[in-house]
Amino acid sequence: MEAFEAHGRLGQIVPIKYDARDEGSIKPVIANSNVIVNCIGKEYETRNFSFEDVNHGISNRISKLAREHGGILKYVQMSCLAAAPDSPSRLLRSKHAAEEVVKQNFPEATILRTGPMVGVEDRLLNRWAIQAKKLPVVPIPGDGLTKMQPVLVVDVAAAVIAAIRDEGFSMGKTFELGGPDVFTVNDLVTLVFEAIREHPRVVHIPMALAQLLAMPREVAMKRGIPIPFSPTFSKDYLDQLSCDLVVSSDAMGLADLGVTSHKIGGLTIEHLNAYRTGGPSVGTTVGESIHGAGF
């Protein structure tokens, strides 16, 4: 929240503490609101919060209170591509359940399903860049052929603003937000290495072995034992890799909200320049061409 406060005038952006499990503490937070944008979500579970607790439970409480409020004009629910009731991923199943309960409690809600987001603090490209700097090789579970349609966070923000400001066009509808290009995981990792100017160093880990490596954390979680989160070797992340995170062919998207999507690459990923050895304008492959390095 400290980062958000700096973007507004004094007193314009005010963080309010509340307990997401306590409806009584949520009510005063939305008491003077006429618009709600629910961005609450979790990409991994902890001892205190499961996917269902965060993605479904909290969405249920907020949307129900929004209906009881009586003065909420716009409700925007953030979700993700490939959310489905029969998904192998619990995260994606819980996201779909959240969409359904929000539509039940607040039928006029706008659902925005986003692809993996790219930006200064993203957990997609930055994650691989960090691994490239800290590990001898970047581990990729499976064959790396899972398709993703990443979207710039500024385009998602523009879509949220458009949904809030429109005259009702977006109300009660679901939009799928993805960038103009579809990548495989291999493509994105190559893009990261090109951006940080290093030769690709990757290793593909058989999915069966990756699932085995994820088991200790799952056992520890069930027993309430604190254990660091490993984004590469969590069971649900591995389950997600069996799902293509792409925009459906018949879905409404950014263009329907009047937003022009930007390509992923060049200036839009210049935040990765910070990972270059020797400084943002240097790197270990200056003057070399690594494009097209195979996997």
Cross-strand bridge partners of residue 148? 183, 245
* Class of CATH domain 1-114: alpha beta
Looking at the predicted structure, is the pLDDT value of residue 155 above 80? yes
Looking at the predicted structure, is the pLDDT value of residue 145 above 80? yes
Give the residue extent of every domain in the chain: 1-114, 118-150+180-246+257-295
Distance CA 188, CA 49 (A): 30
Distance CA 210, CA 235 (A): 9
Looking at the predicted structure, is the pLDDT value of residue 3 above 90? no
What pLDDT is attached to residue 26? 95
What pLDDT is attached to residue 295? 53
Tell me whether the CATH fold assigned to 1-114 matches the one assigned to 118-150+180-246+257-295: no
- The model's confidence at residue 55, banded by pLDDT at 50, 70 and 90, is very high
- The model's confidence at residue 286, banded by pLDDT at 50, 70 and 90, is low
Token pair listed for 294: 């195979």
What pLDDT is attached to residue 46? 81
Q: What value does the mean pLDDT take over residues 220-233?
A: 71
Other residues' Cβ atoms within 10 Å of the Cβ of residue 84: 14
Looking at the predicted structure, is the pLDDT value of residue 293 above 60? no
Q: What value does the mean pLDDT take over residues 247-266?
A: 97
> Taking a C-beta distance cutoff of 8 angstroms, is the pair 148, 115 a contact?
yes
User: β-pairing, 117-118 with 151-152?
Assistant: parallel
What average pLDDT does the chain have?
91
What pLDDT is attached to residue 187? 98
Q: What is the Cα 258 distance to its own chain's centre? A: 22
What pLDDT is attached to residue 290? 53
CATH domain 118-150+180-246+257-295 topology: UDP-galactose 4-epimerase; domain 1 (3.90.25)
- Does pTM surpass 0.95? no
Distance CA 65, CA 36 (A): 11
Query: Which residue in 148, 146, 179, 173 sits closest to 265, CA to CA?
Result: 179
- Higher-confidence residue: 230 or 181? 181
What pLDDT is attached to residue 288? 65
Distance CA 59, CA 95 (A): 10
